[in-house]
Amino acid sequence: MKKKFLVVVILILIISSIIFIILFNKKLNDIKLLSNSIDNDLINIKKEIVKKEEVLKNIKIVNKNQKNSLSNMKNYINSLNEKVKNYEK
């Protein structure tokens, strides 16, 4: 009787260990998948940031040029206004 009990206990322990190892491996796999997914997300978001930094840099240059253009245009309009005033004198 005692022998049988011992065998059952040992069997339970062995089976539990196997189940634990299987579940643990599954968990490790899930972690690996999560890690791969995060790696992909990191790559994608870094690419997106690089693109957007380029876009921002370009639009800042365009806006700076536009500001200069507007200032020059304003000066030109002022000179036209002067000419018109001279004609009216």
Partner 1 sequence: MKNKHITIILILTIFLITLTITIFNLNKIYINKIKPINIKINTYSKLKEKNKELNEKILKENNKYNENKKTLAKYLIEREKLEKIIYEKNDKADGKIIYLTFDDGPSIYTDEILNILDKYDVKATFFVTCSDNLDYYAKKYIEKGHTLGLHSCTHKYGQIYSSEENYFNDLNMLSNIVENSTGYKSKYVRFPGGSSNTVSRFNRGIMTTLSKKLYEYGYKYYDWNIDSNDAGGADSNQIYSNVIGALEYSNRDTSIVLMHDTKVETKNALEKIIIDALNMGYTFGNINDYTKEIHHYINN
CA separation (Å) from 5 to 12, 13, 14? 11, 12, 14
Residues 58-77 that bind partner 1 (CB under 8 A): 59-60, 62-63, 65-70, 72-74, 76-77
CA–CA–CA angle 19, 5, 22 (5° rounding)? 5
Does residue 12 bind partner 1 (CB under 8 A)?
no
Nearer to partner 1, 19 or 45 (CB): 45
Token duo for residue 24: 């643990």
Give yes or no for residue 47 binding partner 1 (CB under 8 A).
no
- Which residues in this chain contact partner 1 in the complex, by CB under 8 A? 6, 13, 17, 24, 27-28, 31-32, 34-35, 38-39, 41-42, 45-46, 48-49, 52-53, 55-56, 59-60, 62-63, 65-70, 72-74, 76-77, 80-81, 83-84, 87
